[in-house]
Amino acid sequence: MQQMPEHEYRGYTIVARVWPTPGNRYQSAVTVLSRSPSAPPGQLAIRYHEPKERGMSCETAHEADQDALERARFWIDAQPD
């Protein structure tokens, strides 16, 4: 498992983790975090998580990371303002 660099999008923090799979392929899991108003500074709450089984099988770790970011942005964009 490889944790990819965190990304910020519309006030959320996106964390993707990438796993190698058979056949020299990669899959990713994604977690969306945000700061809760009642939480101490620097503490983030999980808002959404999608396991690696929901990710596409990709040829490179970078492609798997991009797939995770796309899935997270889709979820974030669907949230009410």
pLDDT at res. 62: 95
| Percent with pLDDT over 90 in the chain | 73
Confidence class for position 42, pLDDT limits 50, 70, 90: confident
User: Residues near 2 by Cβ (< 8 Å), separated by ≥ 6?
Assistant: 17, 18, 19, 61
pLDDT at res. 1: 87
pLDDT at 65 over 80: yes
Degrees to nearest 5, angle at CA 53 with 56 and 68: 50
Confidence class for position 37, pLDDT limits 50, 70, 90: confident
